[in-house]
Amino acid sequence: MKTVKVLTRSALAVALVGAVMSFGANAQSTSGAISGSADAGSTIVIESTTGLSRTVVVDANGRYNVGSLPVGSYTVKQVKDGATVGTRNITVAVSSTTDASFDATTLAAIEVVGSRMQPIDVTQVDSRMVITAEQLAKLPIARSADAIAQLAPGVIQGSSDFVNASNGQRLSSFGGASISENAYYINGMNVTDPLKGFGGIELPYGSIEQQEVLTGGYGAAYGRTTGGVISQIGKRGTNEWKFGGQLQWTPEWGKGAPRNTYYSDALPGDVGSKDLYQYREDNVGWSTVQSAYVGGPIIQDKLYVFASVEGARSEDSLVGTKSSSSQISERTFKDPKWYAKVDWNITNDHVMELTAASTEHKFSANNYQYDYGTFRRGDYLGNATATDTKALMWIGKYTGYLTDNLTVSAQYGEQTTDLKSNPDNKYSNLIPVGGSANQNPALNGGVPITNANKLAQLSDPKHQTFGANYRLDVTYHLGDHAITAGIDNQRTEDRNDSTIMAPDAGFYWLYGRKANPMTDISEGEVDAPGKYPGGEGGYFVSKYIQETLASVKVTQRAQYIEDNWQVNDRWLVKLGLRNDQFINYNPEGQAYIKQTKPQWAPRLGFAWDVNGDGTFKVYGNAGRYYLALPTSLAARGAAGSIYTNEYYTYTGIDANGNPTGLTPIDTINGPGVPYSANREYGQSPDPKTVTAKNLKAQSQDEFIVGFDKVFNESWNYGAKLTYRKLNNAIDDTCYIEKFEEVAAAQGIDTTGLRGCYFFNPGDTAVFNLPDGKGGYSELTLTNADLGYPAVKRTYMALDAYIEHPFDGKLWGRVTYTFAHSRGNTEGQVKSDIGQGDISATQDWDYPYLMEYGSGRLPNDRTHQLKAMGMWQINPEWSVSSTLQIMSGTPNSCQGAYGPDETYPAYAGNYYHWCGGKPAKMGDAGETPWIKNLNLNAEYRPSFADGKLAFSVDVLNVFNEQKATRLDPDYSPGTYRQVLSWQAPRSVRLGVTYDF
């Protein structure tokens, strides 16, 4: 037999060709598939580097398909009449089908050894990006799951106000959705933060085998996200023992000095842009990362282990804002991680996997006085509140290939996160001061007066979150149909989530100001400050108290069925149906939200292999997706919380920022008596009265259509259109005056009214009110009664790309996204003012707050250009880069309400009016365009046989430092003041050894 050698690619080449930007089978899966054409009746033998072997017979149509294969490298052989007549070496990517076809007309004479260029995956109907370990080792990006995800089209960095509690890193917005609407997975287990949905547990960076970023269109097997999905697949041991390590150092001398922040001069008469607000040039530091791994066979072809550790440490300085008691914090962050995985091939038909991983994010700091006159550090003041967030997850998974047509997968896992804080409460005798910028300048000399105590609240050291995830999936191949059905259940808990006031006084001072001194602080409930001594300029202060106590849980269950129907050689149709159920419990274990009626989520997708050879695919999908509410909702909404103010005017301010010459301001409860706008006085609400009886879960419909096409041997290109529409949102309304008005008209007793209620904005709501006799009266409020606009959030995008698959030398991809995100709700959070109260934002509290509240949403970036690539110059040298060029995000202007500039809801600039004129959401211009270029160079000396590597990364090469968020508060000195900046340039040096 004549043997013809086909060009053999390196492992990197295979990974890049077969996995990069692969847009598959199931989201959050840990497996992929292999399919292809071959001589009918011949045998296909598939063998992995982890000892797994599968054997199938090619059907009468000359096709074969093997699914539920762990990701990694495989050898695929065609055997005919007992002889191997063809061999392919391929890489299986997560949720993708890799083609391994054999030419039936020539196999008798040719043995093929090596790897093939991967054609377009015509089995995928969704939108995803898969990044491999080889790419992550090359690309110059930040070391976090969200930083990887932001390489995908339509994914942008979220507000600096929201970070992942597990590592302190910035989160992502997918397709215009808020940062809390995403799902995070490790090896198939949902590890999303149970408390607020702010990120999730992540693997050590060097232990990621593949990261799947799903931006839309996934099948019925998965749900609970109206944003996107970040799924990490960890490395596993193989039949060859391997170990290695890496050191990375980001020195202080390689970092650009951050830009200073100045008071804004956006309004006439402002203090001017030359007045310093925060000195940031000293806010620099260094960081290091050390990591090591080992993996290999405990029993050849049977039992494998992989383990890794990572230790990250950074130290920097943070200068506080300019005030009478300015401070500088010398901060230390420690982020240890570990990961371990055991794979047991019990037989070729039965496989067990056990995964465990842990992350920890520790913060500590020493506080010193800071002299803004000399820009020098002063005397030691004490320690900042030290925090320690430690997360641990584990998962056990069984996969059984019971027959050639029947596969069963079952998994169970748990995660716990300890949220500890250790405050240095040495100044508890001092009362903290908030809102110091609102102090009467005639009493503080024009410089806000505060004191050394910055600690307002103490948290329970036993605070912990918990999650349990269990699912069962069964797949059966019946002719042209692959039918999958299963359950997807989850339970999350928030344990010992309590806060109390830290100062000995039991409160802290909160300063405020009314532009019109004769306007009520809270209309009809808190009097105007101008009526009292010292309040003539609209200045007032309050004793502020906020305390919570809760241990609560949420259960989420789902059932699904899906049919992957190969209609013919060119058409694939995916039909799915999912049913989700959500129940939220209060601290007494009683359900206060029960959404157990069928919540049907249909999914439909198709893929058309236009030419029949994998070179041109047209695809599309449509689906509905539901989102459950996290545990944090209960802390104030369904538990006995306290949230009160005692209002006063004042005639002086002492050296510690305490107001003097106090005069109580009258409230509906009486002068000097605690007042709660939301009626939170510590009482536990009746669970039947917390939400609207007809509350519907948040849901979103999505439609995608696109194509992928091979242009020639060197280039592929494609494009897709995406449309997302939010159907329902959940938030709270505090419009109790309207409740009382409508209830009176309906003859309903309002004695048991609470301060705020959860409902679906824009819909008719039905509430239970206690009737005083042990029963309830039903209060129905139409949307016309409440006066709210219909809830709206739409996202429309055109994504286009061109890529150069890796050819042994060069790989690259460029994407452009043109997008619009419009509506009157961002989602569960409110980025423009940094409000992270999940589904309890201020927006829907009163209709006054929603007037002119529709427009461009905070996560709208109209133009997004992203590029990444790598050039293997020779066996020793390679360079790579990433580039992001994006238009700015919209700014809003928020001031007092109406032409007369009143405050009918809350005493603050929260209304879509500015200077007495309407100001629509997002209509106040936008932040500057962002241009961010990162570069990497790597050297692998030949004398070390490619095992040793030296690297240098330069992030933000041109040291672009543009404003990324501006203050919408229409007040002198603050309107359009910069609230967050683009990170300055940094240099990262590394050395790696793999044996």
Task: Tell me the pTM.
Answer: 0.89
Mean pLDDT of 845-862: 96
Picking from 950, 939, 952, the residue whose alpha carbon sits closest to that of residue 985 is 952
Confidence of residue 118 (pLDDT cuts 50, 70, 90): low
Q: What is the pLDDT of residue 68?
A: 83
Q: What is the pLDDT of residue 274?
A: 67
- For residue 261, what are the contacts with CB-CB under 8 A and spacing of at least 6? 276, 277, 278, 280, 977, 978, 981
Helices (H) and strands (E) in the chain, counts: 7, 58
What is the β-pairing status of strands 229-234 and 183-186?
A: parallel
Each residue's pLDDT tens digit, 584-594: 999 989 999 99
Euclidean distance between CA atoms 835 and 761, whole angstroms: 18
- For the cut 50, the answer to whether the pLDDT of residue 860 exceeds it is yes
Which tokens sit at 946? 């490619």
Euclidean distance between CA atoms 123 and 619, whole angstroms: 9
Coil, strand or helix: which one is 910?
coil
Q: What is the mean pLDDT of the chain?
A: 91
Amino acid symbol at 522: S
Q: What is the pLDDT of residue 171?
A: 96
Amino acid symbol at 487: I
Picking from 216, 95, 123, the residue whose alpha carbon sits closest to that of residue 565 is 123
Euclidean distance between CA atoms 782 and 788, whole angstroms: 10
Confidence of residue 338 (pLDDT cuts 50, 70, 90): very high
Mean pLDDT of 71-100: 86
Q: What is the pLDDT of residue 114?
A: 37
What is the phi-psi region of residue 966: left when phi exceeds 0, alpha when psi lies from -120 to 50, beta otherwise?
beta
Each residue's pLDDT tens digit, 439-465: 999 999 988 999 988 888 888 889 999
Tokens 């089209």 identify what position?
A: 153
- For the cut 70, the answer to whether the pLDDT of residue 108 exceeds it is no
CB atoms within 10 A of CB 797: 23
663 within 8 A of 649, measured Cβ to Cβ: yes
Coil, strand or helix: which one is 14?
helix
Q: What is the pLDDT of residue 466?
A: 97
Partners of 183 in the beta sheet? 229
What is the β-pairing status of strands 698-710 and 386-401?
A: unpaired
Partners of 332 in the beta sheet? 315, 364
- For residue 797, what are the contacts with CB-CB under 8 A and spacing of at least 6? 153, 154, 175, 721, 722, 817, 818, 819, 820
Each residue's pLDDT tens digit, 148-195: 999 999 999 999 999 998 899 999 999 999 999 999 999 999 999 999
Q: Is the dihedral of CA 912, 917, 922, 925 positive or negative?
A: negative
- Length of the chain counted residue by residue: 995
- For residue 435, what are the contacts with CB-CB under 8 A and spacing of at least 6? 510, 511, 512
Each residue's pLDDT tens digit, 802-817: 999 888 899 999 999 9
Tokens 């049977």 identify what position?
A: 302
Euclidean distance between CA atoms 936 and 560, whole angstroms: 44
Minimum mean pLDDT among 62-66, 138-142, 359-363, 877-881: which range? 62-66
Angle at 211 between CA 725 and CA 615, to 5 degrees: 75
3-state SS of 832-889 is HHCECCCCCCCCCCCHHHHCCCCEECCCCCCEEEEEEEEEECCCCEEEEEEEEEECCC
Q: Mind giving me the DSSP string for 484-506?
A: EEEEEEEEEEEEEEEEEE-STTS
Minimum mean pLDDT among 81-85, 278-282, 679-683, 755-759: which range? 679-683
Partners of 190 in the beta sheet? 185
- For the cut 60, the answer to whether the pLDDT of residue 116 exceeds it is no
- For residue 821, what are the contacts with CB-CB under 8 A and spacing of at least 6? 175, 176, 793, 794, 795, 856, 857, 859, 860
Each residue's pLDDT tens digit, 613-630: 889 999 999 999 999 999
Amino acid symbol at 458: L
175 within 8 A of 722, measured Cβ to Cβ: yes
Q: What is the pLDDT of residue 270?
A: 57
Q: What is the pLDDT of residue 680?
A: 81
Coil, strand or helix: which one is 350?
strand
Confidence of residue 28 (pLDDT cuts 50, 70, 90): low
- For the cut 90, the answer to whether the pLDDT of residue 225 exceeds it is yes
Each residue's pLDDT tens digit, 554-590: 999 999 999 999 999 899 999 999 999 999 999 989 9
Q: What is the CA radius of gyration of the chain?
A: 30
Coil, strand or helix: which one is 636?
helix
Q: What is the pLDDT of residue 803?
A: 95
- For the cut 60, the answer to whether the pLDDT of residue 4 exceeds it is no
Picking from 735, 643, 745, the residue whose alpha carbon sits closest to that of residue 692 is 735
934 within 8 A of 881, measured Cβ to Cβ: yes
- For residue 857, what are the contacts with CB-CB under 8 A and spacing of at least 6? 176, 793, 821, 822, 823, 825, 826, 890, 921, 922
Mean pLDDT of 782-786: 94
Each residue's pLDDT tens digit, 247-301: 999 999 999 999 999 988 877 655 545 689 999 999 999 999 999 999 999 999 9
What is the β-pairing status of strands 877-886 and 757-759?
A: unpaired
Q: What is the pLDDT of residue 833?
A: 92
Minimum mean pLDDT among 88-92, 502-506, 955-959: which range? 88-92
Euclidean distance between CA atoms 395 and 305, whole angstroms: 15
3-state SS of 683-751 is CCCCHHHCECCCCCCEEEEEEEEEEEEECCCCCEEEEEEEEEEEEECCEEECCHHHHHHHHHHHCCCCC
Cα–Cα distances in Å, from 455 out to 20, 371, 418, 426, 459? Answer: 47, 21, 21, 10, 11
- For the cut 50, the answer to whether the pLDDT of residue 145 exceeds it is yes
696 within 8 A of 729, measured Cβ to Cβ: no
Euclidean distance between CA atoms 760 and 678, whole angstroms: 18
Q: What is the pLDDT of residue 119?
A: 63
Each residue's pLDDT tens digit, 509-520: 999 999 899 999
Which tokens sit at 723? 């449309």
621 within 8 A of 125, measured Cβ to Cβ: yes
- Chain centroid, CA 798 distance in Å: 22
- For the cut 70, the answer to whether the pLDDT of residue 693 exceeds it is yes
- The tally of CA atoms less than 13 A away on the side-chain side of residue 657 is 29
Q: Mind giving me the DSSP string for 204-232?
A: -GGGEEEEEEEEE---TT--S-SS-EEEE
Report the first-to-last Cα separation within the chain, whole angstroms: 37
Each residue's pLDDT tens digit, 872-928: 999 999 999 999 999 999 999 999 999 999 989 987 899 999 999 999 999 999 999
% of the chain exceeding 90 in pLDDT: 74
What's phi and psi for 441, nearest 5 deg? -65, -20
For residue 330, count CB atoms less than 10 angstroms from its CB and return exposed for 0-12, middle for 13-18, buried for 19 or more. middle
For residue 951, count CB atoms less than 10 angstroms from its CB and return exposed for 0-12, middle for 13-18, buried for 19 or more. buried
Q: What is the pLDDT of residue 316?
A: 96
Which tokens sit at 813? 């991809």
| Kind and range of the H or E run holding 186 | strand 183-186
Confidence of residue 113 (pLDDT cuts 50, 70, 90): very low
Q: Is the dihedral of CA 669, 672, 676, 682 positive or negative?
A: negative
682 within 8 A of 676, measured Cβ to Cβ: no
Euclidean distance between CA atoms 202 and 204, whole angstroms: 7
- The tally of CA atoms less than 13 A away on the side-chain side of residue 311 is 4
Tokens 């019109």 identify what position?
A: 516
Coil, strand or helix: which one is 174?
strand
Each residue's pLDDT tens digit, 919-937: 999 999 999 999 999 999 9
Q: What is the pLDDT of residue 269?
A: 57
Each residue's pLDDT tens digit, 378-390: 999 888 889 999 9
Confidence of residue 32 (pLDDT cuts 50, 70, 90): confident
For residue 415, count CB atoms less than 10 angstroms from its CB and return exposed for 0-12, middle for 13-18, buried for 19 or more. buried
